[in-house]
Copies of this chain bind each other. A is one copy, B any other.
Amino acid sequence: MPRFAFDLEYDGRAFNGSQAQTGLRTLQTLLAQAMTELNGETVQVRPASRLDAEVCAEHLPCDALFARDWQPLELAAALTSRLPADVSVTRVAAVHDRWHAQHDALSKRYRYVLVQRGSRPVLDLHATWVRQLDHPELLHEMAPLLVGRRDLSGFACLRRDDSDGDDPVRTIHAASWTIEPRPLGTYLTFHISGDGFLYKQVRGMVGAMIHVAKGRKPLSAFTAAIDAGRSAERIGNIAPAKGLVLERVVYDPEPAWLPL
């Protein structure tokens, strides 16, 4: 049975996240339905990453096993025609049978976008509004402190299930902010890449950095939270899903992607 990888562009705003949940509109359920129609028997789809409700992705690879050999581009076109306006197949690849979109992922890169302006933003649907940051320069100091291999589960949310006992140690390869004035406001974009992220961890990091940049906690509180691992005090709020986008999932080697 041949396995195929699909790279998806995904607007998560009208989904209850990527993972199948009974009775809810999720990416995994919707993809499995569309593929099962094409395959004639049930298809299981494995996304590379769990995305919460409303989180979007520019590139979200997934894989699935099919009953017969397809021309990859034909399969992708047939699948595309069965998908709604908020999901699109951008690349497809035939992969070997043991390829796994999640387990074979070497690293993931996310961005989180804030827009700072006096008036409520209307046209940008993928940025979180902040009215004022008194110390935006602190963002540049905080981001690099996240880089390294350690337990940063104090920034994540415990799921209150068995996964809470899982190893929380992850490696963050890079983390940085760019700050760019544009006509409609100042855009502050956080980029982070690492070998994996815990539940709501990126949003927890961003929420903490916003809190410090607003002057509500000192930089030392952020440093202390990094050192404290799981027992860190929560700083600020988990940042809204709205600003978060999965930009890239890296494999080595990459599947032999065929662009649509």
Contact = CB atoms under 8 A, between A and B. Distances in A.
A17 B89 CA distance: 32
A90 interface: yes
**Chain A interface residue count: which class?**
20 to 34
Contacts of A86: 122
A9 B58 contact: no
Interface of A is mostly: loop
Interface centre among A10, A58, A87, A90 (most CB of B within 10 A): A90
A125 interface: yes
Given A58-B184, A183-B58, A184-B58, A11 B119 contact: no
Interface string A106-137: 00000000000011111101100000000000
A218 interface: no
A259 B119 CA distance: 8
Interface in A9-36: 9-11
Interface of A: 9-11, 56, 58, 80, 85-90, 118-123, 125-126, 183-184, 245, 259-260
